[in-house]
Amino acid sequence: MIMRRSLELFNELASDGLSSLDRRISTGVFLPQHRDVSLFVSPAGYYGISVPAREDEFSKIKNDRSSVITLTKANTNGCNEVRLTLTDSSQIQLFAYFTDQILDFLNNQPLSPIAGVKQLLERWRRLFAKGSAGSQLSKSEELGLLCELEVLLELIRRGEHVMCWVGPTGARHDFKLSRSSIECKATSSVNGLRVEVNGSQQLEPLEGIPLLLIARVYDEHPAGELSVQTVARQILSEVPVDEDLFLERLRGIGVEPSLLWSTETQFRQFKAIGAYEFDVVEEFPRIKGIDTSSRLQDVRYKLDLSDPDSVPGVREFNEFFD
């Protein structure tokens, strides 16, 4: 791991003011032959990372300016280098996080550093929008997403891959594990333990696979320690690989990745005040037996789980939340 992270270095460069030449700072990462990887700010005020390149790799690279992160070749003080430059400063926090991934990759002394950097760029550049908008999620959507992220964080800590979170892809349940599925429902304290079910199949277990329903109760509070932003950033600090896939899942449900590093308040704050878990057994209350091939469409209903101890399938002890 790099001791000084990219955002800190970019901020240090920004504090020096503009110049007619690139302003550079070493990252502390050195490729073979003691050539250091550096961050820079261009005379136009664009931030970027410069990676020294061997002749065999340098000759295969072509300039690419097709997105807000450009890839260009240069020769500085007799040294060939490949530069990745961000042309939209509003996404500097996301770019700094991406740059951290590059530095960690290069710090492991790969055999083909430029090819690896180019591959990382191809994976990550789709996450950089033309501009970053504010959060468009409703309160109920944020509640549901927050519950899913809390469960995902716990699953990652247990060794599961981030891609077990399949709800954003349109799957029937929020999580698909090797031996079970999990569906998450969240509600605010003023609504009690009443949750919304979307579709006649959402609470139907897949054939031969047990389904666990997690119902989480939150209270919106300006001093709340939980938000989509804080839990997502916790996940990113613990995901060993494929951070870009997690961020792509978030974008697919309306959360721009750059918002996760915004210093402005983009998301509501919540306190967790309760959680209940239910094995969706045959007697568990839900709508069953609807022929989804008929003309009946867009089935939505409220499920009242108040007095949870009387609900069939309730667990005596929670597996995920205290």
Residue 189's nearest CA partner among 220, 152, 145, 162 is 220
Name the pTM for this structure.
0.85
Query: Hey, what long-range contacts does 248-254 have (CB within 8 A, 24 or more apart)?
Result: 248/126, 248/127, 249/162, 249/165, 249/168, 249/169, 250/168, 251/127, 252/168, 252/169, 253/141, 253/145, 253/168, 254/135, 254/136, 254/137, 254/141
Q: How many CB atoms lie within 10 A of CB 300?
A: 10
Side chain identity at residue 112, one-letter code: S
Residue 219: HSE in the Cβ half-sphere, 13 Å Cα cutoff: 9
**Torsion angle (degrees, nearest 10) of CA 81, 87, 93, 97:** -30
Q: What is the pLDDT of residue 20?
A: 77
**CA of residue 114 relative to chain centroid, distance:** 25
Q: What pLDDT sits at residue 78?
A: 87
pLDDT string in tens for the chain (322-residue length) = 344 589 999 999 988 777 778 899 999 999 987 689 999 999 999 999 999 999 999 999 999 998 899 999 999 888 999 999 999 988 898 999 999 999 999 999 999 999 999 999 999 988 886 555 555 789 999 999 999 999 999 999 999 999 999 999 889 999 999 999 999 999 997 777 999 998 888 999 998 899 999 999 999 999 999 999 999 999 998 877 688 999 999 988 888 888 888 777 789 999 999 999 999 999 999 988 766 566 667 788 999 999 999 999 999 999 999 8
SS3 content of the chain, % helix, strand, coil (to 5): 35, 25, 40
pLDDT attached to residue 90: 84
Look up residue 226 and give its DSSP letter: B
